[in-house]
Structure 1
Amino acid sequence: MITRLCPLRAAPPATLMGLAALAHAQALAPPEVPEAIKAPAGENVVFRAHATGAQIYVCGRGADGKSQWTLKAPDAELRDDQGALVGHHSAGPSWRHNDGSEVTGKAVARSESPDADSIPWLLVSATAHAGRGVLARVTSIQRINTVGGQPPPAKTCDPARHKGKEARVPYRADYYFYAAASH
């Protein structure tokens, strides 16, 4: 009797990355954070990423007519605990994973960073999703452990001479992504 073996097909890389991220998520515990930015009850950490990049500010006038730097967008690489590039953080705010999933959100709470020279810690609520993968069902995002990213001093912004000028301020942060617990 001859047995015919079917060749195994490899799973697409995006599927493998998504499965690896899900397996990794099982071991993630929520970080210790101020009460104001705790994730809602019933949500569990499904992914964690370390961001390195810049907060981009634009010179202009505030509602009060005074010179100020206004946040335009973040621009950061997202890396996993092993340092592998797993995605990108950009305007929206939006986070895109290499598995094709994406989440966009809106800040709903903040807590000042323990480091006064760093941007605040945030709790972000998801407002939109795209693709399938680890970020597809994210409901909340925390930005913590921030380093840098504060806007330049207002005196360095003269809208008469620099209106629209951009400043890229280096920053780092950890992002924790939460989803409703599965039953």
Structure 2
Amino acid sequence: MQKLIASAAATAAALGLSACAHMAPSTPVFSQAALPDAVKVPAGHRVVMETVGVGEITYECKPKANAAGAFEWVFVGPKADLNNRAGVKQGSYYGPPATWVSNDGSQFTGTQVAVSPATAGSIPLQLVKANPATGVGVMKDVTYVQRVATKGGVAPASACDAAAVGRKEIVKYQADYIFWKAA
């Protein structure tokens, strides 16, 4: 009888652990295989965080440099929430200068290394080299951040002419921001 009880307890424990394993969330690991070489992070780095940036980019209508009588929409800056894959806010992104901030207070600025075209109507993919972070937290020791899976964010389609100079327009966008540290 004791053997039967011990066997039943062992089976129940194994089933319990198995059930827990199925409930554990899977953490997707970003793959750069499909990305253009220009925006791939160099070997020797690993993904430490994946976020989905949801926000807006501001543009301003200005006279075009060295082109009398011509005008263009000029990038002013972004503002976005950085959410995890479940939609929970992890931090924010804004600029200039391009700044990524975690909810834990750590943050860094970065310098663009490369861009590559995205789908029509979307801002380019981007590779950014991180400057040393401030604060202690998830952003500490980040070496690169990639902007991938972009949707929207391109300059407005509305007219930018002499009558519109100084007008600002806000365009919605979304992009995945992938954070890397040295392996």
TM-score (ref. length: structure 2): 0.78
Deviation at 1:72, TM superposition (A): 0.9
Deviation at 1:161, TM superposition (A): 2.7
2:156 corresponds to 1:166? no
- Partner AA of 1:39 in structure 2: V
Deviation at 1:53, TM superposition (A): 0.7
Aligned partner of 2:117 among 102, 112, 115: 112
Percent identical residues: 38
Contact 2:132 2:141 in 1 (8 A): no
Deviation at 1:128, TM superposition (A): 4.1
2:162 corresponds to 1:156? no
Distance 2:53 2:86 in 1: 13
The aligned residue for residue 121 of structure 1 is 125
- Partner AA of 2:110 in structure 1: G
Distance 1:37 1:132 in 2: 27
The aligned residue for residue 76 of structure 2 is 72
Count of paired positions: 154
Deviation at 1:117, TM superposition (A): 0.8
Deviation at 1:162, TM superposition (A): 2.7
SS at match of 1:133: coil
The aligned residue for residue 86 of structure 2 is 82
Contact 2:102 2:139 in 1 (8 A): yes
Deviation at 1:62, TM superposition (A): 2.6
- Partner AA of 1:72 in structure 2: V
Say which one has the larger Rg: 2
Q: CA RMSD in A?
A: 1.8
Distance 1:142 1:124 in 2: 6
- Partner AA of 1:107 in structure 2: Q
Distance 1:62 1:44 in 2: 41
SS at match of 2:133: strand
Distance 1:128 1:64 in 2: 36
The aligned residue for residue 51 of structure 1 is 53
Which structure 2 segments of 5+ residues have no match? 1-24
SS at match of 1:130: coil
The aligned residue for residue 102 of structure 1 is 107
Distance 1:97 1:152 in 2: 30
Equivalent residue runs for 1:14-33 within 5 Å: 28-32=29-33, 33=35
Which structure 1 segments of 5+ residues have no match? 1-23
- Partner AA of 1:105 in structure 2: G
